[in-house]
Structure 1
Amino acid sequence: MRVQPPAEGPGHRADGEAPVERFVLDFRTRSNHLAELRARFGDWTESIGTDDDTAYDLLVAVNEAVSNSAEHAYQPGVDGTVRVCADLESDGTVVVVVADDGRWRVPPTALSDRGRGLLLMRENVDQVVVERTAAGTTVRLCRSLRPRPADEGVPARRHGHEVLVEEREASVHVVVRGDVPEDAGSALRRSLLTAARGGAVPVVVDLAELGARCAGAVHAVFAVADAASAAGNRVVVLAGPGTPVWTALEASGVRHLADVVAPIG
């Protein structure tokens, strides 16, 4: 994955401060660097001063657009390129263009859970325009921004917990370490939902290394389990029996949506 030198964009931050730089990134389809792409794009949305909920919606839509290109634009084994460009327009609209130079293949029925990608894009941004030509496919995503409240943002992202995402062949494995108190739950919820692609991909959430302050983690797990259930999937949660998070999960009633099990070993 290669990040291009940014050029100054036409817009200003959502809070009216200095102009923002354009986001440009080349993604290699066989690199398995989606997590890095999400992190870099998340940093960019933070830099333009948007609120966390809008940033999450944009991240889901971009993740889906890139994933669809990586899966369907190129023949198996071909290492293609997907380019992601994002600008903040002067009217406060973020415009993201995801482009490939492959030829899209119709996904088989077995990949129907991935077919929710276009639906997820449309649910999370204001406009989705898909243009397919002989030269490739371009997906244009548009979303109006709201300024980030003064008490939201960087401090809320630093509650002392760490999220590690590993994309495996048939599922995504997410490890959460440290304390996740109530006020950190929304940030973790966004991380989990993004990793699970809105619930479309099976996910294992490993809470074995979670701290004693875990109320936010329980709410986040409930949200991703609910989204996964709606998509026909079931989240697996790993937690140590008798730990604070195990007790809190038992009390939350999340077992009707997720399998809560002890880690092996």
Structure 2
Amino acid sequence: MRAQPPSEGLGHRVDGEDAVDGFALVFRTRSTRLADLRKALDAWLVALGVDDDAAYDLVVAVNEAVSNSVEHAYPPDVDGTVRVGADVEPDGTVVVVVADDGRWRVPPTTLSDRGRGLLLMRENVDQVVVERAAGGTTVRLCRSLLARRPEVLPTRRHGHEVLVEERGERVHVAVRGDVPAHTGDALRRSLLTAARGGSVPVEVDLSDLGAETDGALDAVFAVADAAVAAGNRVVVLATPGSPVWTALEASGVRHVADVVSPIG
């Protein structure tokens, strides 16, 4: 695994004749190019043949790991470096290593600060290994490949949209459209990301949900369980008598979340 790329500058390096063998980059912590990192990593994963869901999970986890290094590894007046390397193990597991030369400071967990990055990483990959030492911190993220392009690649269009808005101490997440069972994982990730793994109080608005609700129920249960574990409780908004209201009533979700009618 190549955890330390040989040169600086955003971009990926490939090895041998296969143009998607390896990925590597290094950049300064004062850089504002984190979005470029996400695009470059996603492009590498797409070229590698990783399915959309697994690629999304990895990009989210790597974004959290790099953001932690950028924001917490170095003092404010130090322009440090963060190194990202990725490769594929013989068993088909994508392994990404994020390394810095600083020391992570424990961040606060308020809504206005990031925090809970490790929890989000663990929600999106199979394994997270963090090694802290005096000379720096290394995060190893592992995610099994679920599919290869193009035979069984799921679409990025999940038939619903998710709108996230911060409202004071709470995050409001509106879900619109149909959410059948096979799209539940995509919504689950969106809700857990909005709720920062359950650490931030979240309100899930399902009042504009369509007739297909199975995936939404699974996602609500997931974020509600994570919230309870973090000492919070999810509020679910649904219109009485609607298909999703009926499904929520029958599901037993009230044991872990508050189901209420939207105001107005």
TM over 0.5: same fold? yes
Instruction: Give yes or no for contact 2:238–2:261 (8 Å, CA) kept in 1.
Output: yes
Cα displacement string for residues 7-26 of structure 1 (whole angstroms, at most 9, x for unaligned residues)? 336797xxxxx736737586
Q: Which residue of 2 aligns with 1:245?
A: 244
Task: Evaluate the alpha carbon distance shift between residue 183 and residue 109 of structure 1 in structure 2; reply closer, same or farther with a 3 A threshold.
Answer: closer
* Structure 1 residues 1-265: aligned runs within 5 Å: 4-8=10-14, 19=20, 22=23, 24=25, 45-50=45-50, 54-55=54-55, 58-59=58-59, 61-69=61-69, 72-74=72-74, 83=82, 85-89=84-88, 91=90, 92-100=92-100, 102-107=102-107, 114=115, 117=118, 121=122, 124-126=125-127, 128-133=129-134, 136-148=136-148, 152-155=152-155, 157-166=156-165, 170-265=169-264
Indicate the SS of the match to 1:154.
Answer: coil
Indicate the SS of the match to 1:255.
Answer: helix
Structure 2, gaps ≥5 residues long: 1-8
Report the AA paired with residue 158 of structure 2: H
Report the AA paired with residue 72 of structure 1: H
Task: Evaluate the alpha carbon distance shift between residue 30 and residue 232 of structure 1 in structure 2; reply closer, same or farther with a 3 A threshold.
Answer: farther
Q: 1:165 & 1:55 partners in 2: Cα distance?
A: 22
Cα displacement string for residues 17-63 of structure 1 (whole angstroms, at most 9, x for unaligned residues)? x73673758697897x88x9778756654553335675566456435
The two structures have a TM-score, normalised by structure 1, of 0.68
Q: 1:222 & 1:175 partners in 2: Cα distance?
A: 16
Report the AA paired with residue 189 of structure 1: R
How far residue 254 of structure 1 moved from its aligned partner, in angstroms, is: 0.7
Query: Highest Rg: 1 or 2?
Result: 2
Q: Which residue of 2 aligns with 1:15?
A: none
Report the AA paired with residue 11 of structure 2: P
Task: Evaluate the alpha carbon distance shift between residue 127 and residue 72 of structure 1 in structure 2; reply closer, same or farther with a 3 A threshold.
Answer: closer
Report the AA paired with residue 224 of structure 1: V
How far residue 85 of structure 1 moved from its aligned partner, in angstroms, is: 2.7
Alignment: residue pair count? 252
How far residue 119 of structure 1 moved from its aligned partner, in angstroms, is: 9.7
Q: 2:39 & 2:164 partners in 1: Cα distance?
A: 11
Q: CA RMSD in A?
A: 4.5
Moved more, 21-30 or 209-218: 21-30
Task: Evaluate the alpha carbon distance shift between residue 39 and residue 8 of structure 1 in structure 2; reply closer, same or farther with a 3 A threshold.
Answer: closer
Q: 2:163 & 2:152 partners in 1: Cα distance?
A: 23
Structure 1, gaps ≥5 residues long: 13-17
Indicate the SS of the match to 1:8.
Answer: coil
Instruction: Give yes or no for contact 1:52–1:148 (8 Å, CA) kept in 2.
Output: no
Task: Evaluate the alpha carbon distance shift between residue 86 and residue 259 of structure 1 in structure 2; reply closer, same or farther with a 3 A threshold.
Answer: farther
Instruction: Give yes or no for contact 1:84–1:96 (8 Å, CA) kept in 2.
Output: no
Indicate the SS of the match to 1:246.
Answer: helix
Instruction: Give yes or no for contact 1:9–1:88 (8 Å, CA) kept in 2.
Output: no
Task: Evaluate the alpha carbon distance shift between residue 144 and residue 109 of structure 1 in structure 2; reply closer, same or farther with a 3 A threshold.
Answer: closer
The two structures have a TM-score, normalised by structure 2, of 0.68
Indicate the SS of the match to 2:221.
Answer: helix
Report the AA paired with residue 195 of structure 2: A
